[in-house]
Structure 1
Amino acid sequence: MPQIPNEHPTLWIKSTKSESLKGKTIVLAVTGSIAAVRTIELAREFIRRGADVHAVMSEAAGWIINPMALHYATGNDVITGITGKVEHVEFFGNLGRADLLLIAPATANTLGKIASGIDDTPVTTFATTAIGAGKPVMIVPAMHEDMYNHPAVMENIEKMKGWGINFIGPKIEEGIAKIAGNDEIVLEVEREIGKRTLCGKKILITSGSTAEPIDPIRILTNRASGKTGNELALEAYRRGAEVTIVHRNKIVFSGSGINEIFAETAEQMTDAVLGELAKDYDILISSAAIADYTLDASEQKIKSGENGLELSFRTTRKLIKEARQAYPQVKIVGFKAEAGVETDELLKRAKQTLENSGLDMIVANEVSKGGMGTDSNNITILYSGNKDNICIEGSKSHIANILMDEITELLTSKGEK
């Protein structure tokens, strides 16, 4: 990115990952937990997504990390005390310029003070001001598990949740209520103050490959990794949607609000999707590479031999066909992967699938030279109606971002269910 004269070098990384937090100002409030060491990289992750970050520290936090470390991490002077600039009002008064107060890590001591309106550190002063002004506040607890389980601590947390404060984590491991991972914190912050274009929408996504058993050990599957589906789920969640993903990867989104349903075979995935669609979803994004053929699996391992092996296949149920018939009001986005065909033929086949399956949108790509199992792809989006095709090339996170723009337009345009 172009460098600005006198700009802190840390800010040279601004928006290098995305612009999901572009134009947002985050105050990162750090208290005296050993987990404070994690905030250096956390601040930089926000900057990589376009945010301006300012840090405020309690005195106890300064025993864990030097304020200079957070100055480096944010590119801004660190607030270690309230001065004549009335920093808490500058950022969180009624006319304050901050979008979010993120207290990470938050100790049991700080939680108790905030819940009681006690105001004796820069962090608690910022919290009192932000809460009083109705500004967004998120808290990331970190402490020993026994402290976290203290009735008063639990009561304080529930009390603050009742004020509309969102808590992220903690993750209970090794007898410690550990601070949530940075990826989880960043995702929840993006959902809180980023694009909110899909609030109130329910989105169902299928992802990755299915696997058809041959015997208790062997399976038939394909090269689909689920990376595109995962990125779509993350992007929809960032934008405020209620998201469910059906796949055979287990616990990909641990700690987040994304609901995961495990389905291994094509049959299981079809049943899971049809069951979920009964819960009033707005859209199905069918990005999984679902098996076209299956077989009757042997109950015992098939012995290896020198004479080869013959298997008898039958076709699987067609998920999109059944979903369209059962739920005609639901928007459906399909995916069409081909290999070894020219672009014109790829688009011709995708258009036929779009029309024959009653889809609202289809994503086409030719995978013989990449795309399946890789981190990037080259796709074309085709629409029902007269809208021009869109071609996108780049990382799968970038593709998911553009796709979700198109899906947002699909869900909010006239004719929505």
Structure 2
Amino acid sequence: MPQIPNEHPTLWIKSAKSRTLQGKTIVLAVTGSIAAVRTIELARELIRRGAHVYAVMSEAAGCIINPMALHYATGNEVITSITGKVEHVEFFGKLGRADLLLIAPATANTIGKIATGIDDTPVTTFATTAIGAGKTVMIVPAMHEDMYNHPGVVENIGKIKGWGIGFIGPRLEEGIAKIASNEDIILEVERATGKRILQGMKILITSGSTAEPIDPIRIMTNRASGKTGTELALEAYRRGADVTIVHRSRLGVSGINEIFAETATQMTDAVLEELGKGYDLLISSAAIADYTIDAIGQKIKSGEELNLSFRPTRKLIKEARKAYPRLRIVGFKAEAGVDREELHRRARQTLQDCRLDMIVANEVSKTGIGTDSNCVTLIYAAGREELSVEGSKSLIAGVLMDEITMMIAKDEE
């Protein structure tokens, strides 16, 4: 990216990964947990997504990491005491310029002080001001598990949550309530500071390949990686939706509900059952097997000629449409070795046969399956002009969610 004269060199990475936090000002408040060592990379990950990051530290945090490390990480002077600039008001007063106070890590001591309105450190003074002004605050606890389980700490966390303040993590491992992963923190920050235009919407997404067992060891599958489905789930979650993903891999994001399904039958059954809980949208992006076999109970002996008899699998989107006629459904149509005209013809036929609201068509002989990028065409049931999108799967997910958002808005007019 172009370098700005006199800009701190650490800011040369700004927006290197995405612009999901572009224009957002985030204050990273660091307290005296050993997990403070994680904040250097956390700050830089926020910047890589476009954020302006400032750090405020308690005295105890300075015993863990030197303020100069956070100065380097953020490109801004670190606040270690409240001065005549009244920094807490500058950032979080009624007219303050910050969008979010992210307290990471937050010790049991700091959580207790926040719960009782005590502000005897720069971090707690920032918290008191931000909460009093109704600004967005998120807390990332980190401490020993025994401390986390203390009735007083549990009560304090419950009290703060009751004020509408979000907590991220912790991960309970090895007897420690560990700080959440940077990936989880970043995603929750994106969700908290975004427009949340899909808030209140329930979205179900199928993703990746299925696997049909041949014997206890061998399976029949395809090259689908699930990257598109993952990016769609993340993008929908950023925008405030309640997201469930059905797949045979592991996303590991605390805010997204995951359902494991290995075979085509398992995926179809899982989706139909889950839809019964009331969803606004189904995005069927999984590459579900078209054929299956009756698996053999013992390992097939190697070295011998083998003949297998295949039978068609059920069609998930057809069954979903039949069971839920008013459900919005977005389907995917992948073909290989066909020209653009034939690809679109087949996609439109599926759109019509399954009564879909939208279908995403792509020719995967050169890109798309297992790659980080793709070239797709969005085809609409409402007769709108087709839209072609080429680029990373995260970019495509963003465009698709934009189109879905517009589709839902028109339906609700």
Which TM-score tier does this pair reach, normalised by the shorter chain?
Answer: over 0.9
Residue 252 (structure 1) aligns with: 251
Within 5 Å, which residues of 2 pair with 1:295-314? 295-306=293-304, 308-314=305-311
Residue 281 (structure 1) aligns with: 279
1:11 paired with 2:22, answer: no
Within 5 Å, which residues of 2 pair with 1:329-340? 329-340=326-337
Letter in 2 for 1:348: R
Letter in 2 for 1:27: V
SS in 2 for 1:231: helix
Letter in 1 for 2:267: M
Farther off after superposition, 282-291 or 110-119: 110-119
Residue 186 (structure 1) aligns with: 186
Q: Displacement of 1:415 after TM fit?
A: 5.5
Instruction: List structure 1 segments (4+ residues) > 4 angstroms apart after TM superposition.
Output: none
Residue 410 (structure 1) aligns with: 407
Residue 354 (structure 1) aligns with: 351
Letter in 2 for 1:65: I
Within 5 Å, which residues of 2 pair with 1:379-394? 379-394=376-391
C-alpha distance in 2 between matches for 1:331 and 1:175: 45
C-alpha distance in 2 between matches for 1:273 and 1:178: 33
Residue 263 (structure 1) aligns with: 261
RMSD: 1.2
1:177 paired with 2:177, answer: yes
Letter in 2 for 1:78: V
Q: Displacement of 1:96 after TM fit?
A: 1.0
Farther off after superposition, 385-394 or 164-173: 385-394
Residue 53 (structure 2) aligns with: 53
Residue 29 (structure 1) aligns with: 29
Letter in 1 for 2:284: S
Residue 312 (structure 2) aligns with: 315
Farther off after superposition, 121-130 or 164-173: 164-173
The percentage of aligned residue pairs carrying the same residue is 79
Within 5 Å, which residues of 2 pair with 1:108-119? 108-119=108-119
Q: Displacement of 1:149 after TM fit?
A: 1.4
Q: Deviations over 1:250-271 (max 9, x none)?
A: x3224x2100011111111111
Farther off after superposition, 297-306 or 238-247: 297-306
Letter in 2 for 1:18: S
Letter in 2 for 1:337: A
C-alpha distance in 2 between matches for 1:125 and 1:415: 44
C-alpha distance in 1 between matches for 2:60 and 2:303: 69
Q: Deviations over 1:78-124 (max 9, x none)?
A: 11110111110111111111111110001111111111111110000
Letter in 2 for 1:113: K
C-alpha distance in 2 between matches for 1:404 and 1:415: 16
Q: Displacement of 1:195 after TM fit?
A: 2.8
Residue 370 (structure 2) aligns with: 373
SS in 2 for 1:365: strand
Distance 1:415 1:124, change over 3 A: closer
SS in 2 for 1:364: strand
Residue 397 (structure 1) aligns with: 394
Q: Displacement of 1:305 after TM fit?
A: 4.0
SS in 1 for 2:308: coil
C-alpha distance in 1 between matches for 2:411 and 2:140: 40
Q: Displacement of 1:200 after TM fit?
A: 0.5
Q: Displacement of 1:179 after TM fit?
A: 0.5
Within 5 Å, which residues of 2 pair with 1:186-265? 186-249=186-249, 251-254=250-253, 256-265=254-263
TM-score by length of 1: 0.97
Distance 1:342 1:383, change over 3 A: same
Letter in 2 for 1:353: T
Q: Displacement of 1:225 after TM fit?
A: 0.9
C-alpha distance in 2 between matches for 1:70 and 1:34: 15
SS in 1 for 2:56: strand
Q: Displacement of 1:203 after TM fit?
A: 0.3
C-alpha distance in 1 between matches for 2:357 and 2:2: 40
Q: Displacement of 1:286 after TM fit?
A: 0.2
Q: Displacement of 1:59 after TM fit?
A: 0.8
SS in 1 for 2:411: coil
Letter in 1 for 2:74: T
C-alpha distance in 2 between matches for 1:21 and 1:162: 26
C-alpha distance in 2 between matches for 1:57 and 1:415: 47
SS in 2 for 1:177: strand
Q: Deviations over 1:323-367 (max 9, x none)?
A: 111111111111111111111211121111112211111111111
SS in 2 for 1:413: helix
Q: Deviations over 1:26-75 (max 9, x none)?
A: 11000111111111111111111111111100111111111111111111
User: Residue 282 of structure 1 contacts residue 411 of structure 1 at CA under 8 Å; is this kept in 2?
Assistant: no
Letter in 2 for 1:68: M
C-alpha distance in 1 between matches for 2:171 and 2:124: 23
Q: Deviations over 1:348-399 (max 9, x none)?
A: 2111111221111111111111210111111111111221211111111111
C-alpha distance in 2 between matches for 1:397 and 1:316: 30
C-alpha distance in 1 between matches for 2:161 and 2:306: 60
Unaligned runs of 5+ in 2: none
